[in-house]
Amino acid sequence: MRSFTFHPGPRLIAGAGKSEAIADLLPEGPVLFVTDAQLVELKLVDSCLQALEESGRPVTVFDQVEADPSRTTLEAAVEAGRSANARSVVGFGGGSPMDVAKLAAYLLGSGDDLDEIWGVDLAKGDRLPLVLVTTTAGTGSEATPISVITCEGGVKLAVNARPLTADWAVLDPGLTVGLPRGVTAATGIDAVVHAIEAYTSARLKNPLSDALSREALRLLTANLLTACTEPRNLQAREAMLLGAHLAGLAFSNAPVAGVHALAYPLGGLHHLPHGVTNALMLRHVLQHNSEAAREDYAELAPIVVPDCESEGSQARVALLIDRLDQLVRESGIATRLRDYGIDVSEAPTLAREAMKQTRLLVNNPCEISEADALRLYEAAW
């Protein structure tokens, strides 16, 4: 057997209504509850907060997290936790609140300086106890040791280190039935991309991450359109949450690559939702990779395209790429850069920015040079 290392994720509780059990997962003492204003307004946080309050724990709600959270927001969350003398942290929401919660729990617990820990495995201290309740399906952030923060100039930086893995993740499908169609589609495609990029991850893919990727891709592609068209279908919502979580576990071990590397500059410079940026680049990066990753893509194809097993590997890859493109379109996501007001003259800037995502580019099955990136942005335009 080829040697490999596999890191499990947090302990997991899944099921409708399970988010109300979070008080049992936390130590005594004040709790910093990190979320966003919309989830407060929608009253999605109410039953969780009530459960915490009934448990007698003082709760400080920090609800100022914006999509693609900034460093300033992270620092404000840490400050709120410090003033409240928080003994634990809950992240409640999509990737944005969960990422802030993870890093806030780490900075509060370790006392580390943020500028010393950007990158992989540089955060080695202790964090505060941490529970993540995901309300999108999703970034998989509840499963991963990664926190992504938008820094100066719109550049997304990440801390990727084991201490950021939560103690508990909670998958409660009841929380996702009100997820608007656009967010369902975008976060669902993000999860699909996690599964695919983990499966072709150049350095660290292994039999366990492969198994997780395959099952994630099956659950996600079979349920995304149902979740979009029947938002209250709990079975589809459950499958999406589980698929996104499994994809998160997969890419925690076998990190994502070119699609994310080219998606990040679009998010940083244009504030498009993370899943939309991935959807925009998916087809083009997969085509770029199609020779280098041919065997892997051909293995994934039958999961997404039934009855293609008799085809040769090249045909399977083409069918896979087409079917994924169709899934993106049917989910309602517009697929060209021009649809979002981006000018083709921006392609060189985007390509330059993408080259900064070295932590992701090294995982791609083949090289993406700046000239390649330019061509891929032009193709996506």
Ligand X SMILES: NC(=O)c1ccc[n+]([C@@H]2O[C@H](COP(=O)([O-])OP(=O)(O)OC[C@H]3O[C@@H](n4cnc5c(N)ncnc54)[C@H](O)[C@@H]3O)[C@@H](O)[C@H]2O)c1
The residues of the shown chain that bind ligand X, judged by CB under 6 A, are 36, 38-39, 42, 44, 67-68, 93-97, 99, 135-136, 138-141, 144, 146-148, 175-176, 178-180, 183, 187, 273-275
Task: Give residue for tokens 């009855």.
Answer: 307
- Which of ligand X, Fe ion, none does residue 176 bind to, with CB < 5 to 8 Å depending on kind? ligand X
- Which of Fe ion, ligand X, none does residue 300 bind to, with CB < 5 to 8 Å depending on kind? none
Q: Considering beta carbons, is residue 36 or 190 the nearer one to Fe ion?
A: 190
- Which of ligand X, Fe ion, none does residue 178 bind to, with CB < 5 to 8 Å depending on kind? ligand X
- Which of Fe ion, ligand X, none does residue 275 bind to, with CB < 5 to 8 Å depending on kind? ligand X
**Closest distance between ligand X and the C-beta of residue 45, in Å?**
10
- Which of Fe ion, ligand X, none does residue 96 bind to, with CB < 5 to 8 Å depending on kind? ligand X
Q: Considering beta carbons, is residue 136 or 290 the nearer one to ligand X?
A: 136
The candidate with the shortest Cα–Cα distance to 95, out of 7, 194, 206, 227, is: 194
Could you write out the DSSP letters of every residue in 295-363?
A: HHHHHHHHHHSTT-TTS-HHHHHHHHHHHHHHHHHHHT---SGGGGT--GGGHHHHHHHHTT-HHHHTT
**Closest distance between Fe ion and the C-beta of residue 190, in Å?**
4
The span from the CA of 299 to the CA of 321, in Å, is 13
Q: Considering beta carbons, is residue 55 or 64 the nearer one to ligand X?
A: 64
Q: 120: which strand partners? A: 160
Q: Are 6 and 209 in contact (CB under 8 A)?
A: yes
Residue 215, φ and ψ in degrees, nearest 5: -70, -35
- Which of ligand X, Fe ion, none does residue 95 bind to, with CB < 5 to 8 Å depending on kind? ligand X
Which residues of the shown chain bind Fe ion in the complex (CB under 5 A)?
190
Q: Is 348 exposed, middle or buried (0-12, 13-18, 19+ CB in 10 A)?
A: middle
**Closest distance between Fe ion and the C-beta of residue 141, in Å?**
9
- Which of Fe ion, ligand X, none does residue 68 bind to, with CB < 5 to 8 Å depending on kind? ligand X
Q: Considering beta carbons, is residue 22 or 196 the nearer one to Fe ion?
A: 196
Q: Considering beta carbons, is residue 172 or 372 the nearer one to ligand X?
A: 172
- Which of Fe ion, ligand X, none does residue 331 bind to, with CB < 5 to 8 Å depending on kind? none
**Closest distance between ligand X and the C-beta of residue 53, in Å?**
21
Q: Are 26 and 90 in contact (CB under 8 A)?
A: yes
Work out the widest C-alpha separation in the chain, in whole angstroms.
63
Which residue number is nearest to Fe ion in terms of Cβ?
Answer: 190
Cβ-proximal residues to 252 (8 Å cutoff; 6+ apart), any chain: 7, 9, 140, 143, 144, 145, 146, 165
**Closest distance between ligand X and the C-beta of residue 198, in Å?**
12
End-to-end Cα, the chain, rounded Å: 44
C-alpha separations of 101 from 35, 61, 89, 121, 369 in Å: 8, 11, 7, 18, 35
**Closest distance between Fe ion and the C-beta of residue 99, in Å?**
11
**Closest distance between ligand X and the C-beta of residue 291, in Å?**
27
**Closest distance between ligand X and the C-beta of residue 307, in Å?**
32
- Supply the DSSP symbol for 55: T
Three-class HEC string of 99-132? HHHHHHHHHHHHCCCHHHCCEECCCCCCCCCEEE
